[in-house]
Structure 1
Amino acid sequence: MIEVGALRALRSVAALGTLARAAEELGYTASAVSQQIKRLEGQVGVPVLAPAGRGVVLTPAGQAIVDSAPEVFQALERCAEAARSVAEGAPRGILRVAAFSTAVRGLLAPTLSRLSTRCPDLRVHITELDPDEALHGVDAGTADLALVHDADGLPAPLPSSLTQRHVHTDAGDVVMSRAHPLALLDRPLTSIDLASHAWVTSPPGTVCHQWFRRLVADVPEEPDVRHLIDDFATQLSLVASGDVIALIPRLARPRLTEDLVSRPLRRPPQREIFAAWRRSANASPAIQAMIAELGAAIESATTQTD
């Protein structure tokens, strides 16, 4: 009979391309993963991996095993969830959550205290991961729940073994010093309003930089970008100097100090945020408790005042 650990190891190697990366994800050594693969090959009687440059690829037999793996993991998940349900559906144990950084700050962090009070036997372990990595972690079984966002309007591809639920729409506002001329405009800002002003923005390649480029696309002159800073708190410290303004997602925005003010945009950039988990874990009391508590955190984040 195929060992579950060996099946999980093969699936991780298939997704990541090397024994070393699979070992890092699974928390093993590369030698331990190699031994699991060898035991699997002994159990099925045929090779499941073949060398490919510095990495490895699946053999046809290995691909057949990986293709069947989701059904195995889903069946095991259903067994575990049935056992949890016997205990009156009380959330307990460890819930492993993978999420992008601003979701950790704006959604998960405000949730933990309430969740701890409601579910004292549940512990939440959070890992910061980009959406693609977070979904892979849930699909591979190294995480139970993922919080992901669409990238420039395109959602991350969802593996067939997962299901998802929309939990929030995040939007960007322009933040400035209270002494800045734009602070006097008590209305949503337009791209024309933003022309000729200096900026601090997130670096190219980030979602927030894509938001910024789209926001100023109609401005005739090239925007005056003074600083490229990835950390939003650092952006705000530069905004406080009065020389620059910044476009910051609401979830990523710390509470503003008295010398700063935010202004909404007439056409704000937005991103949709989803919670994703394995279909076989639909009945998980821990996942359902987390989803329920996210609602209150989202309401708190969207009603945060300057």
Structure 2
Amino acid sequence: MLDLHRLRLLREVAGRGTVHAAARSLGYTPSAISQQLAVLEREAGAPLLERVGRNVRLTDAGAVLVRHAASLLAGVEAAEAELASVAAGRPAGVVRVAAFQSAFLSIVVPAIRSVLGEHPAIRVEATEIDVELAAPALRLQQLDAVVGDEYEGHPLAVHDDLVREPLLREQNRLVLPLGHEAADRARVPLAELAAATWVASQPGTGHREMVVRACREAGGFEPDLRYSSDDFLTQIELVRTAGAVALLPDLVLAHHPAPGVVTRPVERGPVGREVFLSTRAARTPAIAAVADAMRAAAADRTAAPLP
């Protein structure tokens, strides 16, 4: 008989690409995982993994097991959650949530407050993480719900086994130092900021790609990205004290109004961002309750105008 724990290890290795990556994720040693997978191969009667350079990939037999493992583990998860709900007489259990910083503050925290009041038998565990890192953990059942963001012109990978629903759509607005010559405009053409010093998130992020693409397509120039930080509060401070220019989302600006800077809409350009909720297809009653709370928090934020 196949062991569910070993099936989970196999799925983790397949999802992470290497035994070492799976070991780091699960808190095991690589040798311990290798030993368990060797036992699983004996139980299955066929090789399950083959090495490709430094990575591993599933054999045909391994792919069959991983496909069934996803269904089996999802069934166990649903059964455990349903039992907890029956025992409590209401939605119950642990729901693990991840979100990026501004959505954590504006959507997840209000949702947690709502769940604590309406569903005391649900334990919400929340962490701040980028969506690129959260998606694999969601697929591997280490997270239950992820609030992510997708910048216009920078689409994320699509996963058929996940359900994605939009929570809100927002714009990225120019953040300028107080007294900047463009601050008196109702809308600022990006072309007027070709000589400016810019700040954006680190290379490889959706935010940085959005800034570069907007400057190229709407402004016709390559931005002088002198400063890099994934912390939007640091970006605002660089605008205020170093005279930089930034493009920041509404969620950030609504939650962190800052003295010494002004915000203006961009005249045109690919500066939109969608904030979305992603879960696995099967939502337990507890996950559904948390999703409802985050949906309501996002609706409240959409209805609230920028200060």
Please, what TM-score do these two structures have when normalized by structure 2? 0.85
Q: Cα–Cα, structure 1 residues 155 and 78, in superposed 2: closer, same or farther, change >3 Å?
A: farther
The structure richer in helix per residue is 2
Q: Are 1:270 and 2:272 an aligned pair? A: yes
Retained in 2: the 8 A contact 1:144–1:278? yes
Structure 2 equivalent of residue 189 of structure 1: 188
Structure 1 equivalent of residue 123 of structure 2: 123
What is the Cα deviation at residue 6 of structure 1? 0.7
Structure 2 equivalent of residue 111 of structure 1: 111
Structure 2 equivalent of residue 6 of structure 1: 6
Structure 2 equivalent of residue 136 of structure 1: 136
**Larger CA deviation: 205-214 vs 120-129:** 120-129
Retained in 1: the 8 A contact 2:81–2:286? no
CA RMSD of aligned residues (A): 2.7
Give per-residue Cα distances to partners, 1:41-69, cap 9 Å, x unaligned: 23222232234444433233212211322
Q: Runs of 5+ in structure 1 lacking a partner?
A: none
Q: Are 1:74 and 2:64 an aligned pair? A: no
- How far apart, in 1, do the equivalents of 2:49 and 2:110 lie? 44
What is the Cα deviation at residue 239 of structure 1? 1.3
Structure 2 equivalent of residue 256 of structure 1: 257
Retained in 2: the 8 A contact 1:107–1:251? no
Retained in 1: the 8 A contact 2:85–2:91? no
Q: Cα–Cα, structure 1 residues 69 and 118, in superposed 2: closer, same or farther, change >3 Å?
A: same
Structure 2 equivalent of residue 246 of structure 1: 246
Retained in 2: the 8 A contact 1:105–1:252? no
- For residues 285-300 of structure 1, the aligned pairs below 5 Å read 285-300=285-300
> How many residues of Structure 1 are paired with residues of Structure 2 in the alignment?
303
- How far apart, in 2, do the equivalents of 1:59 and 1:147 lie? 33
What is the Cα deviation at residue 174 of structure 1? 0.9
Q: Cα–Cα, structure 1 residues 197 and 156, in superposed 2: closer, same or farther, change >3 Å?
A: closer
- SS of the equivalent of 1:273 reads strand
Structure 1 equivalent of residue 50 of structure 2: 50
- How far apart, in 1, do the equivalents of 2:13 and 2:94 lie? 25
**Larger CA deviation: 125-134 vs 14-23:** 125-134
Structure 2 equivalent of residue 204 of structure 1: 203
- For residues 15-26 of structure 1, the aligned pairs below 5 Å read 15-26=15-26
**Larger CA deviation: 250-259 vs 82-91:** 82-91
- SS of the equivalent of 1:143 reads coil
Give per-residue Cα distances to partners, 1:203-239, cap 9 Å, x unaligned: 3322222221222224355444443333211111121
- How far apart, in 1, do the equivalents of 2:198 and 2:57 lie? 46
Q: Are 1:219 and 2:232 an aligned pair? A: no
What is the Cα deviation at residue 173 of structure 1? 0.7
Retained in 1: the 8 A contact 2:189–2:219? no
- SS of the equivalent of 2:276 reads strand
**Larger CA deviation: 233-242 vs 249-258:** 249-258
Structure 2 equivalent of residue 174 of structure 1: 174
- How far apart, in 1, do the equivalents of 2:198 and 2:50 lie? 51
- How far apart, in 1, do the equivalents of 2:221 and 2:288 lie? 49
Retained in 1: the 8 A contact 2:151–2:272? no
Give per-residue Cα distances to partners, 1:80-103, cap 9 Å, x unaligned: 344345357733332112333443
- SS of the equivalent of 2:15 reads helix
Q: Are 1:159 and 2:159 an aligned pair? A: yes
Q: Cα–Cα, structure 1 residues 45 and 203, in superposed 2: closer, same or farther, change >3 Å?
A: closer
How high is the sequence identity, in percent, across the aligned residues?
A: 33
- How far apart, in 2, do the equivalents of 1:220 and 1:54 lie? 42
Q: Cα–Cα, structure 1 residues 41 and 242, in superposed 2: closer, same or farther, change >3 Å?
A: closer
Retained in 2: the 8 A contact 1:89–1:285? no
- SS of the equivalent of 2:208 reads helix
- How far apart, in 1, do the equivalents of 2:151 and 2:163 lie? 18
**Larger CA deviation: 284-293 vs 122-131:** 122-131
What is the Cα deviation at residue 154 of structure 1? 5.1
- SS of the equivalent of 2:125 reads strand
